[in-house]
Amino acid sequence: MKTIIKNISELIQTETSKVDFVSGKDMQNINTIKDAFLEITDGLISNFGSMDEWAGIDDWINTNIIDADGGMVFPTYCDSHTHLVFAKSRESEFIDRIKGLSYQEIADNGGGILNSVEKLRNTSEEKLFADAKIRLDNIIKLGTGAVEIKSGYGLSIESELKILRVIKRLKKCSEITIKSTFLAAHAIPNEFENNKEGYLDLIIADMLPKVIDENLADYIDIFCEKDYFTNDDTNKLLSAANKYGLRAKTHVNQFNSIGGVETSVRNNALSVDHLEIMKENDIDVLMRTSCMPTILPSCSFFLGIPYSPARKMIDKGLPIALATDFNPGSSPSGNMNFVSSLGCIKLKMTPEEVINATTINSAYAMGVERELGSIALGKKANFFITKEIPSYSYLHYSFGENLIESVYLNGKKQ
Ligand code: NIG
Ligand code: FE
């Protein structure tokens, strides 16, 4: 079966030559085709070009025609960093923060990650799955076509596996592309309060082999931060994971720069995420590596912490990916449209840089750049059609407005 999308006012992020990601000055370039068509065969992109070049329909019976009505077509967003399997929202912490408490003070008072851990341990796999599925369907409506989801609110063998099994079920029941990440090293659970070494040993000796055995994770993650896990812990965990061929995507430099970027790069991490606090050396060690610096601006927005120095990083030649960090504590939103606006407004990235950062670069940051992240022959037909908009920059400019008319994953309307 073929589908043709016709009358596209502008087809965005078309691929002219194969790239895995774009860096520095190249982030400023995107290819587009005005007055375009897009052809899909069996869920994959099989042709695209300007309406003038369109050969027309040869098989009316087996062709489905969709009129974009002057809307634009974008490849769907890739959201390469989320924690969208969680038990309950945490708006009481949000109110505490309005009253002046910091993220760390809230964590010290029994809030934060451990608050979510307690709630998740008391929630059934069935309920977690049902709630996560609703969140997944919501982000699809917002234009996301690939998402990475982490564990990390279980912090025991049983509960970490519970989350990873939920993610495995989500992979099977949705058209969205999902990658899963094992994040048992998210915080130190209460049972190990004065025995962090014991917890790390449990992760490495007991949890990791089970995760590998059941094929439950595509990546491993750790929160490398003061009061959580040190650089040495990070090195130990990532080298243990590397022995199983599990690559890392790490939480580093959210509140302090303690060397996590360098340790992650040394251990061949696929991405380093957060990066609110960057020293010169953190930027330097990322240069000319295959590790994707990933920025989560809605976390800075929500917690009122500094924004990453994205402009400086791009100007030095680095690539950047943008993601939502969707989680109940520091970013209760999976909206990549809002992340895109923040990229322009707060990170001072241009609309073109933001488009690259939310498509091809974030696809790379979750290992799906060969199948997603641009409009290219043979890639998955994951795209959204916008309402009529005056220019592609309007999507970022008109923050908070829903400009998405329809979303297609594997060529199917969602
Ligand atoms: O990416 N920083 C660590 N983890 C999450 C927050 C988790 C939470 O507060 O529940 C993050 O921001
Ligand atoms: Fe996170």
Task: Tell me how far the alpha carbon of residue 330 lies from the centroid of ligand 1, in angstroms.
Answer: 6
- Checking DSSP bridges between strand 383-386 and strand 73-75, what pairing results, if any? antiparallel
Calpha distance 358→354 (Å, rounded): 6
Mutate-to-test residue for ligand 1 from 330, 331, 333, 339, highest number of ligand atoms within 8 A of CB: 330
Closest ligand to residue 228's CA: 1
In the numeric block, the tokens 């061929």 are attached to: 245
**Residue nearest atom 12 of ligand 1, based on CA coordinates:** 330
Residue 177: closest CA among 365, 407, 368: 368
Mutate-to-test residue for ligand 1 from 226, 234, 251, 271, highest number of ligand atoms within 8 A of CB: 251
Contact of 106 with 96, CB cutoff 8 Å: yes
For residue 46, how many other CB atoms are within 10 A of its CB? 17
Calpha distance 192→98 (Å, rounded): 31
| pLDDT the model gives residue 277 | 98
Which is the closest atom of ligand 1 to the Cα of 153? Answer: 10
Average pLDDT along the chain, 414 residues, taken 10 residues at a time: 95 95 98 97 96 83 92 98 97 93 87 95 98 98 98 98 98 98 97 96 98 98 97 98 98 97 98 98 97 98 97 98 97 98 98 98 98 98 98 97 97 97
Which is the closest atom of ligand 1 to the Cα of 299? Answer: 12
| pLDDT the model gives residue 211 | 98
Quote the strand ranges of 28-175, DSSP E: 32-41, 44-50, 63-67, 73-75, 77-82, 144-150
- DSSP symbols for 265-297: HHTT-SEEEE-SS--HHHHHHHTTSS-EEEE-H
Which is the closest atom of ligand 1 to the Cα of 112? Answer: 9
| pLDDT the model gives residue 107 | 86
Contact of 30 with 13, CB cutoff 8 Å: yes
| pLDDT the model gives residue 307 | 98
pLDDT in tens, 9-20: 999 999 989 999
93: left (phi over 0), alpha (psi -120 to 50) or beta: alpha
The whole-chain average pLDDT of the chain stands at: 97
Contact of 338 with 298, CB cutoff 8 Å: yes
In the numeric block, the tokens 């840089």 are attached to: 353
Residue 340: closest CA among 326, 327, 321: 321
Task: Tell me how far the alpha carbon of residue 81 lies from the centroid of ligand 2, in angstroms.
Answer: 6
Calpha distance 299→390 (Å, rounded): 30
Which is the closest atom of ligand 1 to the Cα of 325? Answer: 1
Sign of CA dihedral 94, 99, 103, 105: negative
Which is the closest atom of ligand 1 to the Cα of 90? Answer: 10
| pLDDT the model gives residue 109 | 84
Sign of CA dihedral 46, 49, 52, 53: negative
Q: In order of start, what are the domains of the chain with their CATH numbers? A: 2-75+374-413 (2.30.40.10), 77-365 (3.20.20.140)
Helices 157-173, 125-141: crossing angle, 10 deg rounding? 40
Task: Tell me how far the alpha carbon of residue 152 lies from the centroid of ligand 1, in angstroms.
Answer: 9
**Residue nearest atom 11 of ligand 1, based on CA coordinates:** 330
Pocket-forming residues, ligand 1, beta carbon under 6 Å: 112-113, 116, 223, 251, 254, 299, 325, 327-330
Sign of CA dihedral 385, 389, 391, 396: negative
Contact of 224 with 252, CB cutoff 8 Å: yes
| pLDDT the model gives residue 56 | 80
Sign of CA dihedral 187, 192, 198, 204: negative
| pLDDT the model gives residue 59 | 79
Which is the closest atom of ligand 1 to the Cα of 116? Answer: 10
| pLDDT the model gives residue 57 | 77
- As to burial, measured by CB atoms within 10 angstroms (0-12 exposed, 13-18 middle, 19+ buried), residue 239 is middle
Mutate-to-test residue for ligand 1 from 85, 102, 113, highest number of ligand atoms within 8 A of CB: 113
For residue 174, the SS3 value is coil
| pLDDT the model gives residue 16 | 87
pTM of the model: 0.97
